Structure 1
Amino acid sequence: MTSTLPLLVTTVSVLLTQPNLANSYPAGRDRIPNGYNVPDPCRPGRTTQGVGHENPDGGGPRNMFGDAFLIAGGWTVAFCNADTDGDGVSNGAELGDPNCVWTPGQVPEFTTGISHPGRHNTEYQCPFPPWLWSILFGWSVIFESV
């Protein structure tokens, strides 16, 4: 009789890691201006890896920006001019492309003053206060500059 423990451990390990592999699209950040420079409103001093997802690290359910990006098929003038999070600021203005002229590989018109196009700038409620992220998840946001 052979032990099934190694097979069980391997199977569980693969299943637990699959959702992250299947739902995370880091290359998507190459398809929006300042994709690697979008601040995480819930973790001061950090950028978000999952701009189009509810989870700031990517994967899982998409936010309004991610859904609209998928429908638009990429960075288009119409998508750039849209305000997917309803905060009164267009996606382009939030991401440093207020004139909607950016194309992948270019440096956007602005690289500072960027905000998150999937999080309403004044009404979004973080699931935890920023200082609590550090305690719950080990992120050292308490000591990072804003």
Structure 2
Amino acid sequence: MKNWFRNILIVMCFALLSACGDTQHSSPSGGSLKTVIKPTALTATLNIGGVQMAIALPSGVAPELNADGSVNDAVAVEFISSAPTAYKTQKATYDAVKSVLEFSVIDLAGFSTEDQIVLHLKVAEGTFPKESDFSILSYDFFDKVTGESITGLNPTLITTIQ
């Protein structure tokens, strides 16, 4: 049986680059999908409870969709956390015309250094995306207590094609 799709696994480990860094929300040059949270950045004053991101996907790459065209959240966005499952939620939307995947993840217990978001995407047969074909269009981190935006965090991405 011929495989019409190859799986692409885009692994994101949340990272906050110490307290130093740009406070603007800008895209890194050349996309990769990995962000690492340093233990020193997770202090009592930095309580990350949620993240929102929009990622540009290259042509031929898309998330798993339901019959109605909506993103299959359970398949496309996997949140791996040390907190109990009842506290986590994730939601994703996909704009096929713009090739943009938007997702949010909320963890009421707060994110820890071990937490990861894994995006499972499909790659059309004959498509050969490169790491630089992916980019972060926008992102925001939210305080788990106040819900306010946390500035000064700059994610980067690393793409793993399997």
Structure whose residues are more often helix by fraction? 1
Q: Rg: which structure is higher?
A: 1
Same fold flag (TM > 0.5) = no
Structure whose residues are more often strand by fraction? 2
TM tier, smaller = under 0.3
TM value normalised by structure 2: 0.26
